[in-house]
Structure 1
């Protein structure tokens, strides 16, 4: 459902000040305690979407407030005043009615996405100081309440409020004595307050409103005609779809690259394993060859010993010569037989090792080719993402044509 964003910030003290809305009152309303929500027909307990429950937040706030100290004249420390702002809150609302969320799954998904983006935006701004975010669904529109606790020793929530901090910085120097100059200085502070809050609203729109298809401002605030407002809503929806499509393409591309890397890694590991097996077979063949060579050496040694043993008997006559000749022939035949058997046994292992090494080299070449092809596909995906970014820029230019003051990176006038 189209519409415009809403987020509001406020800080509270323990005493409540002139408005009477104290920290305790605000937390009672958030917790839906009896008597704290007369404007709600059927109050329901809040749903914690981030951080601690309201009861724990209340205890933590009270403990820190009691322990907080501020420095006064002379460097002394004292307890903080009851009217000092100690809790910063933010309220964000979505334009889809609660009744539509229950009946339309698409609307429910859109609100859930808005809720998660809002929580992420708050966490990015306040970090660990963001203690609790709750959701109320017992009113006409779903809305979130966020609660931020200061982490400085004096618990100054005004320092976390962008508008208050900007105004205080612009009026830091001593105020002039002249009443007119005081008024002028105060107007300068008010402008700094408004500019800071416009910047916050623009930041929220860029990170949450725009991706969710919500406009930066409503039509009445800018006195837009119905046709201009509808055109802006169409442009916002188109921009949201473009951003969503670009994000989806990017996620798909990253997933494809991850799968490709995994496949290439698997191919590489398999090729490495085949190479190791080939090396092992080669080593086994070499060991068999060494064993055959050793047996050959042993045969030659026996032959030498036989010759040595037969040498003294040469003088005994021709009869012994016949015996020695027969022994020599027998040993030579044995040597030849052993060598041929060793070579015949080692040849298949060597051929198999050479074949596996060749197969491993072919697989490695194919893996490199696949890596090159995957890189080309990744480049194509990157080009698609660039085209989606061009569509987004075109949508921004369309918004600029509708609203001349619009710029995606510059705060726009508000209020």
Structure 2
């Protein structure tokens, strides 16, 4: 096999028979156990081996995801309204799909991989990374997932298990591309369901004979009991006969109705809902081929689908390998361009940083000049105010000096006048002394 293999499915806790089988049933627990290689769910594998955990970014360990799903399922309750209008709550139905899975298979056989694990590991690891990356790109917010790889069956293959933890009912069908498309079509269009043939009118069943009131007379009561017993026996026989006739009527109707519906489906062909479902899955395979198959050198379809000859199929595989090699070269060149672009961007960021520093310096100089100008204006204003104050003070001092000089002159006049008076008094005293002496 040199073509891609990619399958998606959803599961509930209720076992569901696998289409095309008589006694093969799948459930969420069974799928989880098979992925984890639990013994009771791995009997189809000759020598089960522990799975390899894919520890990529965004994934959780498988056992953690299993425990998480079961814990969430057990904690969910639904509020419903009955036909009578009564509101009640119940646990999530066990047939509600709560587990989403994907199976990715690689063309390399497990034996080939294990024969030279060191050489084959990079190719398988790259394929697994691309598949997980594509899965994560398609999933909405709130999805939790785990991935494991098996090397104990025919081909190397990987299981991705996911839960829609962001949904209140863990609705896994909202992650299934085909079911999402079918639901969207149903919601926006008239139903295309075929109308069944009218059911036949069934023969009414006889009423069960009632028991008469007890009699005080033993003989009478004995006869009544015997009569009631005989009536019950006849009623049972009549009922069985009518039920058998009704069963024949229903069987004949069911056969006629199945033929009617089958003819209607054949005449109608696929419904638009089925086309929406198939188209969505076909597009999913196309997108998967672009994201995973082509880069890994895988074909979109196998040889049977196009009825290719062995030579044509070999040629197609060589072409696919050549495309993958060219994509690898382009990817390598893209990485170099990315590195160069990153270096240029780094240098540009440095220039921008320098420019920011320069602009910041210029802004600082402008701010400093403005501050100095403001300080100069403030100093000039203070200087002018100081000069004005000094002039006023000088004028005030001169007035005070003049007043002091006038006071000093007046004081000198007073002193001279006082000295003259003292001198006059002294002369008088001398005269008086002379008079007294004489």
| Aligned twin of 1:45 | 50
| Aligned twin of 2:153 | 139
The correspondence for 2:33, drawn from 6, 18, 28, is 28
Say whether the 8 Å CA contact 2:53–2:61 is kept in structure 1: yes
The correspondence for 2:175, drawn from 133, 136, 160, is 160
Q: Is 2:118 the partner of 1:109?
A: no
Aligned CA distance change for structure 1 residues 117 and 176 (closer, same or farther; 3 Å):
closer
Q: 1:300-311 maps to which residues of 2 (within 5 A)?
A: none
Aligned length: 273
The correspondence for 1:86, drawn from 95, 98, 109, is 98
CA distance in 1, matches of 2:174, 2:41: 28
Give 1:111 shift.
1.0
Aligned CA distance change for structure 1 residues 66 and 225 (closer, same or farther; 3 Å):
same
Say whether the 8 Å CA contact 1:175–1:182 is kept in structure 2: no
3-state SS of 1:239 partner: helix
Aligned CA distance change for structure 1 residues 189 and 69 (closer, same or farther; 3 Å):
farther
Q: Which runs of 5+ in 2 are unaligned?
A: 19-24, 197-260, 362-438
The correspondence for 2:112, drawn from 88, 100, 119, is 100
CA distance in 2, matches of 1:264, 1:197: 46
Aligned CA distance change for structure 1 residues 87 and 268 (closer, same or farther; 3 Å):
closer
Aligned CA distance change for structure 1 residues 182 and 188 (closer, same or farther; 3 Å):
farther
**TM-score, normalized by length of structure 1?**
0.59
**TM-score, normalized by length of structure 2?**
0.56
CA distance in 1, matches of 2:52, 2:184: 37
Q: Which runs of 5+ in 1 are unaligned?
A: 277-415
CA distance in 2, matches of 1:196, 1:268: 48
3-state SS of 2:17 partner: coil
Aligned CA distance change for structure 1 residues 41 and 258 (closer, same or farther; 3 Å):
same
Q: 1:246-261 maps to which residues of 2 (within 5 A)?
A: 246-259=330-343
CA distance in 2, matches of 1:64, 1:105: 40
Give 1:78 shift.
3.5
3-state SS of 1:44 partner: coil
| Aligned twin of 1:221 | 305
CA distance in 2, matches of 1:268, 1:121: 37
3-state SS of 1:147 partner: strand
3-state SS of 1:149 partner: strand
Aligned CA distance change for structure 1 residues 37 and 245 (closer, same or farther; 3 Å):
same
| Aligned twin of 1:13 | 12
Q: 1:357-368 maps to which residues of 2 (within 5 A)?
A: none
The correspondence for 2:195, drawn from 170, 175, 178, is 178
Say whether the 8 Å CA contact 1:171–1:186 is kept in structure 2: no
Aligned CA distance change for structure 1 residues 269 and 202 (closer, same or farther; 3 Å):
closer
Say whether the 8 Å CA contact 2:60–2:144 is kept in structure 1: no
Deviations 1:328-357 (A, max 9, x none): xxxxxxxxxxxxxxxxxxxxxxxxxxxxxx
Say whether the 8 Å CA contact 1:176–1:182 is kept in structure 2: no
Aligned CA distance change for structure 1 residues 269 and 195 (closer, same or farther; 3 Å):
closer
Aligned CA distance change for structure 1 residues 192 and 266 (closer, same or farther; 3 Å):
closer
Moved more, 50-59 or 29-38: 50-59
CA distance in 1, matches of 2:71, 2:264: 38
Say whether the 8 Å CA contact 1:11–1:85 is kept in structure 2: yes
Deviations 1:154-175 (A, max 9, x none): 2221221111222233334456
Deviations 1:23-50 (A, max 9, x none): 1111111111122211222211112214
Give 1:85 shift.
1.2
Give 1:187 shift.
2.9
More helix by share: 1
CA distance in 2, matches of 1:8, 1:14: 20
3-state SS of 2:170 partner: coil
Deviations 1:27-79 (A, max 9, x none): 11111112221122221111221422332222111121122344544676533
| Aligned twin of 1:326 | none
Give 1:261 shift.
5.9
Aligned CA distance change for structure 1 residues 269 and 47 (closer, same or farther; 3 Å):
same
